Structure 1
Amino acid sequence: MRDVRAIREALLKTDLVRDCDWLRAVAGDAAAAIGIAIKGLKSHGMRDPVTDAVVSAVLCCAVEGNPGAKVVMISALWRRARIDPVCYGLRVRWLHAKF
């Protein structure tokens, strides 16, 4: 989980996300991360640094085994595949991933 730790350390240094639950999300609170991601995807779309940050927080929770975070990752990749076809293959891999 060294990679998850590195992602979280980088996220702590960002001031992109203006949400009172951001620190909880970065610390591993999957519900907080998912909530911020859903709000962020609706308001910022798929091509925004804020989206990258909030989905990275969800990614950490998904890698740690949270099933809700995995669903959000699959959904985000499906949306992103409309812009970047490479994400379709990533989405298929996430569908079958077991952590």
Structure 2
Amino acid sequence: PRLSVPVGARNGETDDPVAEAEDHLQYGNPEAAISILRAHLHRDPTDERAGALLVELFRHAGDREPALELRREMQDTGAEGSRWWRELGVWLGENG
């Protein structure tokens, strides 16, 4: 049986932040999922699974400002070579 609170959510620790974010989505909490993924990408800017899910969440929400903010925060972190970074740029209408 699934717990009503995602495993690791109480103390912020998880071995798989993407799975934790997906748990939050399942329980209707996209803001928590976005927060988990953003924090994880600051630690591991090349995690394609986390980046792809975050881009999808931004697209679904349709709010460009958090995506633009993430682009500013993640400049020069090594994320620039990642597929998720390019997809985010395409969604934001950036060239290259």
Q: Compute the TM-score of the two structures, normalised by the length of structure 2.
A: 0.46
Q: Compute the TM-score of the two structures, normalised by the length of structure 1.
A: 0.45
Larger of the two Rg values belongs to structure = 2
Structure 1 or 2: more helix by fraction:
1
